[in-house]
Amino acid sequence: MIPVTKPYLPNRNKLNEYIDSIYECHWLTNNGPLVQELSRRLEEYLGVKNLLLVSNGTLALQIAYRALGINEPVKGKQAEAITTPFTFIATASSLKWDGIQPVFADIDPQTWCLAPENIKAAITPQTRAIVPVHVFGNACDVEAIDTVAQKHKLKVIYDASHAFGVNYKGKSLLEHGDASTLSFHATKLFHTGEGGAIVFKRKEDLDRAKKMINFGITGPETIEELGINAKMNELQAAMGLCVLDEMEGNMNARAEIWANYERKLAGSVQFQKISENISYNSAYFPVVLDTEQKAIEIEKKLKEIGVWARRYFYPSLETVRFLNGQNQQPVSHDIASRILCLPIYCTLAISDQDKISKIVKEQSVKTSE
């Protein structure tokens, strides 16, 4: 079977060394030495400051919301945050879970990121924040979003789950917004098995979040914040340190696969328009077909030979009942219905890449006849 992605497993001997160190010091959680080391190394690797490791990417979003105060009601009414419907469910459900109503604005038809002009139209007196997503690692229009946020005095929390290692204009994309969150789930480009991180613009927000992820406890007999358990443990950090050691080879292999797909499929499918001035991380390979029926048929044909493509991100989230989406977002709805993410991981054989490309190309033509 060829899955849409495969968790990267680093050198086992190196991982054993880190695990041996855990056994030696008997420190399994609560900001242990490996978590501290991974925090330092990630800040250096990504070129950021104020990075906080947490236990998963969803909690990264929720802690960011609370540290920035966007969950607080507005004049006694529920707070709102403007976000994209073209994303993984956690972006919106984490808002809803924290008592913040997600308000959906439509995406750009080429980049598939939240369109700044649509954000403006969705702002109400209840709006506290904008939660854009760097979809598939593609950079949002960060300058335009920042302009909107400043004009309306809104916080910006980027869901940067796909944007590990992406630079924009020579600097980390994660520097934009009041906070950027990362997912380190096993299927991500960089992972810790499960895990995540928040990069804050301001140190005072980082300091508050540090209290929140440990139940609000600041000392043996001191509790200063309403908190929760969102700490990363030492075993997660050990995996992350090993994966980080091998990032260059992992990313180079993915870039070659991405380029091979692009060459083979040019003219047969629609590609995402990659934003200018970014260093792309080749974490995903999404394509859009002419019709939803084509996408479904190609997905079925691939399954017949043991290849599992995925319809990321389907359905468009404004159609999910419990999120209380008010209006259909036509561009997101359209792209979500026709999209298919093809398998990409560093050990995917060239023969398998070519086999997948051949089926997608042949079927995209055949079903249009």
Q: Do 58 and 181 touch, CB atoms closer than 8 A?
A: no
296 three-class SS? helix
DSSP summary character for residue 107: B
**165 Cβ partners below 8 Å, 6+ apart?**
45, 46, 189, 190, 247, 251, 279, 281
Nearest residue to 60 (alpha-carbon basis) of 181, 157, 241, 177: 181
Nearest CA to 147 among 127, 119, 172? 119
Q: CA 6, 334, 91 angle in degrees (round to 5)?
A: 55
Give one DSSP letter per residue of 315-360, joined into a string: S-GGG-GGGT--S--HHHHHHHHHEEEEP--TT--HHHHHHHHHHH
* Burial per residue of 204-238, b for 16 or more beta-carbon CB atoms within 10 angstroms, e otherwise: ebbebbbbbbbeeeeeeeeeebebbebbbbbbbbb
Nearest to 357 by CA among 314, 302, 311, 303: 302
Chain centroid to CA 138 = 10
In the residue annotation, 188 being an active-site residue is answered as: yes
| Cβ count within 10 A of residue 27 | 16
Considering the candidates 49, 120, 188, 210, report the single residue annotated as catalytic: 188
* C-alpha to C-alpha distance for 324 and 345, rounded to whole angstroms: 36
Q: How far is CA 149 from the centre of its chain?
A: 21
Contact 169, 195 (CB under 8 A): no
Question: How long is the chain?
Answer: 369
C-beta of residue 174 within 8 angstroms of C-beta of residue 163: yes
Alpha helices in 123-246 (DSSP H): 142-152, 203-212, 234-245
The catalytic site residues sit at: 188
